[in-house]
């Protein structure tokens, strides 16, 4: 299942490949779908990172956005970062080091947002590992996964609009493959469908906890029937509830205009 299937606007163009026009330092992008990135630099300085971004920003009118990155080669030091950043992000820096960027780093397992120090977060990762990055839109919550297992929440209060899937490489020989999901893509390691069902259940439970009086819910149904001219259904509802006995003359003949 891909992130495009998650209650989203089907007309929105989703991230599907890496941006080959704008890249960081010493990055080669390859693969028929332009989803493989390799770092060829020496990684000696903090401003010669080879970061790459998707060709499009993530959609926000859906329940969840999620993508995965598989480490083909961790290179000399495994200084690989997976996350999100906006279009103004400096591609010669790691995701998470700059404002409006977020990253989970493989060499130290720390999470980063708008600084170079980071915070303790999860396990390190390297060759053969698959790291996922996702955002729960309704909560503004960012999370990461490792080899199909979801890690704890990484960031809250995230404004997802304008963010791009972003990956940073910073030691010689590092190579990764990005899976954006979608038609023809291999399945995600993480059970995204299970998370979708969990989130839908949580939303339904939250709605059930909102107190709504019988009178209010009845009034909402009547308004809908009146607006669309469902005269016979409206009459049956009123008979069953006894509404007409106490509201004679209200909404007159309007309800039956189309009946």
Q: What is the pLDDT of residues 9-25, one digit of tens each?
A: 567 899 999 999 999 99
Question: Could you give the dihedral angle defined by the CA atoms of residues 32, 184, 177 and 147, in that order, rounded to the nearest 10 degrees?
Answer: -170
Task: Give the pLDDT mean for 148-160.
Answer: 98
Q: What is the pTM of this model?
A: 0.80
Give just the sign of the alpha carbon dihedral 128, 91, 108, 76. positive
Distance in angstroms (rounded) separating the CA atoms of residues 124 and 107: 6
The answer, yes or no, to whether residue 230 has pLDDT greater than 80, is no
Q: What is the pLDDT of residues 64-90, one digit of tens each?
A: 999 999 999 999 999 999 999 999 999
Distance in angstroms (rounded) separating the CA atoms of residues 15 and 182: 9
Band the pLDDT of 256: cuts 50, 70, 90: very low
């Amino acid at each position: 299942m891909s992130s495009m299937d998650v209650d989203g606007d089907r007309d929105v163009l989703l991230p599907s490949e890496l941006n080959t026009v704008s890249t960081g330092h010493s990055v080669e992008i390859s693969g028929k779908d332009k989803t493989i990135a390799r770092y060829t630099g020496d990684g000696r300085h903090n401003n010669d990172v080879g970061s790459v971004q998707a060709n499009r920003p993530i959609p926000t009118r859906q329940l969840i956005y999620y993508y995965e990155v598989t480490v083909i080669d961790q290179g000399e030091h495994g200084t690989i970062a997976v996350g999100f950043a906006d279009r103004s992000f400096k591609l010669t820096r790691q995701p998470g080091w700059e404002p409006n960027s977020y990253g989970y780093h493989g060499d130290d397992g720390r999470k980063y947002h708008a600084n170079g120090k980071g915070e303790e977060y999860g396990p390190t990762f390297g060759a053969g590992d698959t790291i996922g990055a996702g955002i729960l839109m309704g909560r503004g919550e960012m999370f990461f996964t490792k080899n199909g297992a979801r890690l704890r929440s990484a960031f809250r209060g995230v404004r997802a609009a304008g963010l791009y899937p972003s990956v940073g490489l910073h030691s010689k020989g590092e190579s990764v493959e990005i899976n954006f999901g979608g038609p023809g893509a291999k399945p995600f390691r993480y059970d995204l469908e299970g998370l979708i069902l969990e989130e839908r259940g949580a939303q339904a439970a939250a709605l059930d906890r909102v107190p709504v009086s019988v009178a209010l819910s009845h009034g909402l149904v009547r308004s809908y029937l009146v607006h669309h001219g469902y005269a016979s259904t409206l009459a049956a509802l009123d008979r069953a509830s006894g509404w007409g006995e106490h509201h004679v003359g209200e909404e007159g003949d309007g309800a039956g205009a189309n009946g």
